[in-house]
Amino acid sequence: MEDDVYGVVPCSSLAVESILRVGTAGAIWGMCIGPYDANQQSLRGIDKASYVIKSVGKYGFRCGVIAGVFSITRCGVQRYRKKNDWVNGLIAGAVAGAAVSVGTRSYTQAIGMASLVSAICAAADHARSS
């Protein structure tokens, strides 16, 4: 069913949907990990609440951006190539992996993360299409 959607729905709509879904999952992860990290830093009261709120926003934003980059790249590549195979996930994974590591300003980390995410996404697409 998802394969039929990629030909009809605009890529921007798919990107917004994935940003909302994965961004919400990231925010939930921030709600889970934020109090733990705050306790590790011995924060209490308002400082702890502020830390948790910041972690919710940070994780939600990061996960949403990465999901948006991946989905819009995958959809664009699929429409350009007019094929639905594992290569689309490979390319989109490389772009999303590079977007994850762009803040480090280290080429070795960027290449490593792009390769890792690309391989995982290609394997997932290959398993889904097989």
CA of 43: how far to CAs of 7, 27, 34, 114, in Å? 50, 20, 11, 35
Q: How confident is the model at residue 123 (pLDDT cuts 50, 70, 90)?
A: confident
Query: What is the pLDDT, as a whole number, of residue 6?
Result: 59
Query: What is the pLDDT, as a whole number, of residue 1?
Result: 45
In this prediction the pTM is 0.83
- Rounded to whole angstroms, the Cα distance separating 76 from 10 reads 10
Assess contact for 74 and 94: CB atoms under 8 A.
Answer: no
Query: What is the pLDDT, as a whole number, of residue 70?
Result: 93
Is a pLDDT exceeding 70 seen at residue 29?
Answer: yes
Residue 78 CB neighbours (<10 A)? 21
CA of 36: how far to CAs of 54, 61, 87, 91, in Å? 13, 19, 39, 36
Assess contact for 6 and 18: CB atoms under 8 A.
Answer: no
Query: What is the pLDDT, as a whole number, of residue 86?
Result: 86
Please indicate whether residue 1 or residue 84 has the higher confidence score (pLDDT).
Answer: 84
How confident is the model over 72-87, as pLDDT tens digits?
999 999 999 888 888 8
Query: What is the pLDDT, as a whole number, of residue 4?
Result: 58
For the chain, the structural domain boundaries read 11-102
Is a pLDDT exceeding 70 seen at residue 3?
Answer: no
Query: What is the pLDDT, as a whole number, of residue 17?
Result: 93
Is a pLDDT exceeding 90 seen at residue 64?
Answer: yes
